Amino acid sequence: MKNSLNGNWSGWSVEVRNAERTEYFSLPVDSGQEFTPNANAGSDNFTKNPSSLLIIEDAPVHSVIISHIARKLEFTTTVAPSYEAACKVLRERQFDCVTLDLGLGEHAGLDVLRYLSTIECKAQFIVVSHSDKDVCNDMVELGRALDLNVYDSVQKPIDLGMLRDSLALIQLQSLPTKSAG
């Protein structure tokens, strides 16, 4: 983070290392607006609420892994273990991010993508699948063709670093900015 002359935060920087800690990069994120950390809820300054993540996954072990990584990044998580459960929770709530398993028992991830398109869901999506990279990329493109905000795909077994990095970047993009009031 960098400070302005008056001591308020004026931008963010994310430092990322790979699992072997051999590669490093810093990603500046500058909102162009100043805000005070730990601002009171009633003030006009920035207040950060945790981003919400819906995990659409029928394999409990993968749900736990994704949820664990997301919670470390301060996401609030909800798990929908089926197409029907996902549709139900999406009718009730909006999410900042969704991870979508392409294989959901009787339903495919394509069914979920179509449903998300019909409700005009604005969340960012990460496709998660046992399928090969080409199939994952095709689903990303299909989601985008359906006017969905598909961010990336992650293959199973889950590359934990890749998933963490994708969620961290989505988290940064969902940071609210100070209202211009």
* Chain-centroid distance, C-alpha 14: 16
Q: What is the predicted pLDDT for the residue at 95?
A: 95
> Mind listing the pLDDT tens digit for each residue in 78-119?
999 999 999 999 999 999 999 999 888 888 888 999 999 999
**For residue 48, which of 56, 38, 57 has the smallest C-alpha distance?**
38
> Mind listing the pLDDT tens digit for each residue in 132-142?
888 888 999 99
Query: Per-10-residue mean pLDDT for the chain, 181 residues long?
Result: 43 46 44 32 46 94 94 94 94 94 86 92 92 87 94 89 93 64 47
What SS3 class is residue 72?
helix
- Entry field: residues in the chain: 181
Q: What is the predicted pLDDT for the residue at 108?
A: 84
Q: What is the predicted pLDDT for the residue at 7?
A: 44
Q: Which helix (H) or strand (E) holds 122?
A: none
Residues near 137 by beta carbon (within 8 Å), at least 6 away in sequence: 153
pTM higher than the cut 0.75: no
Q: What is the predicted pLDDT for the residue at 173?
A: 80
* Bridge partners, 53 (sequence order): 77, 97
Q: What residue ranges define each of the domains in the chain, with the CATH number in brackets? A: 2-36 (no CATH), 52-171 (3.40.50.2300)
Query: Mean pLDDT across the chain, nearest whole number?
Result: 76
